[in-house]
Amino acid sequence: MPLYRSSLLAMLVLAATSQAYAGHPCKPAQPPSAQTITRSMALAQRTALALEAEHTRNGTQVVLLGRAGQDLTAYGLRYSHLGWAYRSPVGAWRVVHKLNRCGTAVGTLYRQGIGEFFLDDLWRYEAVWAIPTPAVQQALHTLLQDNGRATLMQHQPYSLVSYVWGQRYQQSNQWAIETLAAAMEPHSIRTRDQAQAWLQFKGYTPSTLHIGAWRRMGARAASAHIAFDDHPSRQRLAGRIETVTADSVLAWLQRAQLAQAPVALAEK
């Protein structure tokens, strides 16, 4: 379902219409295999049933949903990508999240079903989610269904390793937490720097990835969606890349008492 932000006419498109990834290297376009579809849909169905059970028991209507789209074990990370999943008025779970258009340095917001969210070239067939407090859920539930507010923090220039406190680029997980800030303070947060100030006030701590100079140069040369020039020079030259990761967000939400402990659901 496409969304439009009236001031910028920023369209949120469906993944089915184009190749888009969250942190994946670009690959030649090819349809997913039957096995991939089967495994992805099985994980999606179990996740949707678990979320619906949470709604029945506790009235849950928003969760932060994550997946393991790529192998990040070299950095001590388990999950790669986050999106905000919400229960629509008709009872269907939808996910709003940001993806990178393959072969470009552009990020676009998508509104998808749970099945589409997991229909990806997953590294590990495992879902994770965190259930926010009722107050956080209420704020997000309103925002996520409002096309204009849902795109307020969207910044098109994309880098997979964008600097956590920078505004030159924005990656997927960065959009998710900046949008959380905008939801919690709708009258005072209208810009990315205001959102980041709120995140700092709430004690968010990014992950520090240790990436040497040769690896940085190789990644930048080979990938349009990877840039390091927004990081402070001293940290960049030391190979200390501070960026927003799924693992750091899940840990912070619990630490800041904004959400419950993460729940994981792995493939049977």
**From first to last of its 268 residues, what are the pLDDT tens digits of the chain?**
334 332 222 223 323 333 555 545 555 556 788 889 999 999 999 999 999 999 999 999 999 999 999 999 999 999 999 999 999 999 999 999 999 988 889 999 999 999 999 998 899 999 999 999 999 999 999 999 999 999 999 999 999 999 999 999 999 999 999 999 999 999 999 999 999 999 999 999 999 999 887 677 766 655 788 999 999 999 999 999 999 999 999 999 999 999 999 999 998 7
pTM given for the model: 0.89
Nearest Cα residue to 184 out of 194, 169, 174: 194
Strand-pair partners of 132: 259
26: left (phi over 0), alpha (psi -120 to 50) or beta: beta
What residues does each domain of the chain span?
A: 15-266
